[in-house]
Chain A
Amino acid sequence: MLKIIQNLRLTPLTRRSVVNIRWYSDGESSDDEKKKSKFAKKKSNNALKRLNELLESMPTSKTSEKVQVITAKNKRQEAKDEKMNQKVSEDPTDLKSITQTIARKIGGNVQQTESELLSALLGTSFEQKGSLSEIIGGLKIESEKPKRQISKAQNVRNIIGQGRQQRDAQRAPREKSQKQTIVNLFGGKPLNIFTDSAVVPDHLETWSKLEQREMKLTVTHPPRNYFEKMILWTEEGKVWKFPIDNEQGLEVEKNTDFTEHVLLEMHLEGWCPTRGPVRHFMELVCVGLSKNCFLSAQEKRDHIMWYKEYFESKSEVLGDLLKLGLNESDQPKQIESNV
């Protein structure tokens, strides 16, 4: 049967797959084999027919006869092929015998454990706990596909070292034996263009500011605790900064003396009557203002000046009222004194 299949395809690549077939069909019952050989025979007949047809259709004139040129053997290619062949023919049998021995050692249903082991190793999804031949029957068809040229041994190795299985399979084979070479990062031949470096500040001010900002934001991650949040808020100017000072940000107040806040009666001089209800009222205003911590000194002064203007605009009415008041004011005083 092997010969027939070998007749079918003659490239070294298919030889590999043929070997695989041989391996899998080793332990099989004759049933499957017969079917297979029948199928193969049929196929080979077809192929022969086709070949003959092709031969006939070839031009037969003498001029087109190919001259046989003797060339040197491509030794490298041959050696490679041979090596591959050996490797492939060795490894799978090893795998099989190993699984067999393991299965025997475990005991019980030897065939089933063997098939389970195989399916686990090959990483294919043979969930059915059928006999070994079932699994192998399934594999045989796959092994004939010339699509992916990975040997089974390679496959097993991939699964054992799961890390780079798929990538490796697709990738051109790497020189794995390559030793770890030390790269001296600063051991090259310098270009000898520059002799020194100097730090020159960027002359595009806005640009460099934006660049700094961008870099700072890249390393600003969501805060990991409350303090980091406080740091963030401090930098954004949302909270008072340390050290705490309750006049923070009130720059104007830094330059004003407390006397300007407290001693306000001097602002009454010049316009306010020295006695009487207006004076009385304004003194009360001054006391109130001197105790107010929410207004700036300038605001307090403005406040007083507002009253000044107010009283001045009402001076006529006030004058009349005051005259009346002076007359009447004696009476309540009397009453008071009476009381």
Chain B
Amino acid sequence: MQHLRRSVSSISYLNRSSLSRCTRFFATSTELEEKVEIPNYIQRSPTTILRALSQTVGFDPTAAHYKYHDDPYLIPLSNVGKRSFALAMESGRKSAKFIRQQHSNLFQHREADPPIEAFLPTKMYTIDSQVEISDLTTSIEHSHVSDAILVYALLKKNNVELTNDVKQSLLELLCFYNCEEPLEEDMIEERWFRQNQRLKERNRKTWKDNDTAEQLYYEIEPKTPQTYACIIRGMCKYYQVEKAYAIFQDCLANNIKLDVDCFNSILNVVRFIKESADLRWSVMLDLLKTMKEKGVSPNLGTLNACLNSISEMGSKNAKDYAIQIMTEFKNIGIEPSLASYYHILHTFCKDRGPVSHVLVDILNEIEGKEFEMRDIKDTMFFVTAMDVCRNHLYDLNLAKRVDAFLHFGENYNLIGDSYKESIYYRNYFTLLVQAEPFDKFMADYYHILVPHVYIPEPSVMEEILKAVEVTGAIDNIPLLWSHMICFEQISRDNLLALIVRIMLQNKPDLTIKTQENLKETFSHIAWDIWSKIEEKNELRSKPVVWTGKLLGDILRIICTSEDIDRASVIMEKLLNDQQKILGESDYIAMEDYVQLCITKKQPSKAIQCLQYCTEIGFNESKNLAKTICKGFTLDENHTRRVVRYAGESVIQEIEKEMQEESAAKNVTQ
């Protein structure tokens, strides 16, 4: 401390006041504490500073996802668009890679020193190439499965002796990927948008029998415990259960030490080993006891494997078993991961079973904790939890809790992929739109999440429109319609019918400020529906089939805004394309149209409508003819046409009525 003070005072250019402040500081600090503790150097990873910086970038609901914002003009606004844009970008990257790989001789210059390995073309192997053991090890290291298989075959052909270690790691690679080439590491978008195929093939055997992996297994001599463990794990992973279980039992009989993951894989497929629930449970207990006997200590994988098997066991006692397992593992200090809770949900909330509120208890347990990936099925939790909220419990508050939990810390990483994310939001949105007040739903959720985070699928859009119909919040119709265009949902018959029905049944209230211009807007929307579909039908090979009802409704909406030109276009469509149009339109539409013709003084158009009515065969066409005759002063030509469509009797009736009327008038006079 003394020498510090000396050094400070020796700096001559410090002015006096600051110097005195410094000395005072030193004086007081010596009084308070003697030791200055210098914190230890913290080892930072190369990405620490980047992570810190990345956390400063907030979430902006009005902005497109980062991957799309390179070209604002091309920001996609539909699910299909999002998918294809992102994949197109990746595809470009892929083709660049391909060119680099195919024509590596053209790229001789060294861009970087030291060279960046990720950009270098990989070594290509053919049947004739000269290979060494090092080629095999690098292929394994980079998990290039097909290369590894080829190199291994070449080495065998050249009678190169391989050590058992190399063979073992090759076996592990082949077993892990079932002799199939995995998706490359940097294909992030593809991984994100790929629909998880493993889910679909959940209960199917996909293990390749007698492929390289199995051959290699037979070749390795002498077999170590690792060899057995590896083949059992691989077979269980791809549901070749019979063989796996046979090898497993051989190992037990011959006292070969198996590891915990090996037991886990067998526990995971218990439902394929035995038929009935009770037998399955007893097999599981036996396996656990064997583990104890052999001195194998369980881990998280054991817990999840047990819970997974219980959830698909189909036993009445499944819930008790699950709780027992959870307690057992809690007692020995194994914290469940999200996958464990997913299995619990799966066990308790069966489609046909009674309602279970276990999700509440799970949330009480895990809320406010940050989870990280510990099991490959951890990503199933959120999508299942939201599904339970909507379809099982129908509980909005719970759904909100789940959503809050998802957005806690880094938990959003565990949402899975785009497919799971969209199902999650589909359930969440449907629940919100049904249970929240509509205005609140629009303000708090719709405007924030749509379209950049989530784009409602047609089914969700239908729910939203239904909510509009029930609440009468018709000022949202223009917005929803424009979104429907963006999201490419205008070829959905049910949505069109619904939106048209809403516009028809809810007359805008002119006294409300937000609805002042709605009448015009509705008419525009109706016209838009018409022109958009016509436009599409010209281009598409599979056109949308017009129904008479829809056209009639559109006609009615247009009639309310008294736009005779547009209305008559639709009327002509009705008249000329009768064969292509399904069904007939309502008579009311015809009446509205004729009234419009009368106000706009267009007798020939009105008579066209009469023609349509008679061709369709409306009973009321006579009345229509009367309305026409009364509404216009018809010239000879027109009268003749009216007679042709409606018959002589109409004119006579009208004349009679007129005479009666005038007679009545005369009487009163």
Contact = CB atoms under 8 A, between A and B. Distances in A.
Contact of B50 (A167, A172, A218, A234): A234
A255 interface: no
A237 B361 CA distance: 44
A187 B323 contact: yes
Given A213-B143, A236-B185, 11 more contacts: A163-B390, A164-B394, A172-B352, A178-B355, A188-B326, A190-B324, A196-B297, A204-B261, A205-B172, A206-B173, A242-B48
Nearest to A175: B354
B328 A193 contact: yes
Contacts of B323: 183-188
Most chain A beta-carbon neighbours within 10 Å: one of B86, B185, B466: B185
Contact of B357 (A127, A164, A183, A188): A183
B357 A196 contact: no
B114 interface: yes
B54 interface: yes
**Which of A182, A198, A202, A221 has the most B CB atoms < 10 Å from its CB?**
A221
Contact of B140 (A204, A206, A242): A206
Contacts of B188: 220-223, 232
Nearest to B415: A221
Contacts of A76: none
* Interface size band for B: 35 or more
B23 interface: no
Contacts of B175: 207
Interface in A306-325: none
Interface stretch (B225-233, B401-409, B654-662): B225-233
A194 B298 contact: yes
B593 to A, nearest CB: 17
B328 A198 contact: no
A230 interface: yes
7 contacts: A161-B394, A193-B328, A197-B299, A197-B334, A207-B172, A225-B66, A237-B116
A202 B261 contact: yes
8 pairs of A and B residues whose beta carbons are closest in the complex: A188-B323, A241-B46, A227-B54, A249-B114, A206-B172, A206-B169, A188-B324, A188-B327
A216 to B, nearest CB: 7
A210 B344 CA distance: 27
Contact of A219 (B57, B259, B414): B414
Interface string B94-135: 000000000000000000011011110000000000000000
A282 B176 CA distance: 60
Nearest to A250: B114
B1 interface: no
Contacts of B348: 183
B57 A203 contact: no
Contact of B352 (A171, A178, A203): A171
Q: Chain B's interface: helix, strand, loop or mixed, by majority?
A: helix
Interface string A3-47: 000000000000000000000000000000000000000000000
B259 A200 contact: yes
Given A163-B390, A191-B324, A249-B114, A204 B297 contact: no
Interface of B: 44, 46-51, 53-54, 57, 65-67, 86, 113-114, 116-119, 140, 143, 168-169, 172-173, 175-177, 185-186, 188-189, 191-192, 225-226, 229-230, 233, 259-261, 285, 288-289, 291-292, 297-299, 319-320, 323-334, 344, 348, 351-352, 354-358, 360-362, 365, 372-374, 376, 379, 390-391, 394, 413-416, 431, 434-435, 463, 466, 501, 549, 586, 588
Given A187-B323, A238-B118, A242-B46, A227 B354 contact: no
Given A197-B298, A197-B334, A205-B169, A226 B361 contact: no
A228 interface: yes
Nearest to B185: A217
B398 to A, nearest CB: 11
A242 B50 contact: yes
A128 interface: yes
A249 B334 CA distance: 41
Nearest to B416: A218
B328 A192 contact: yes
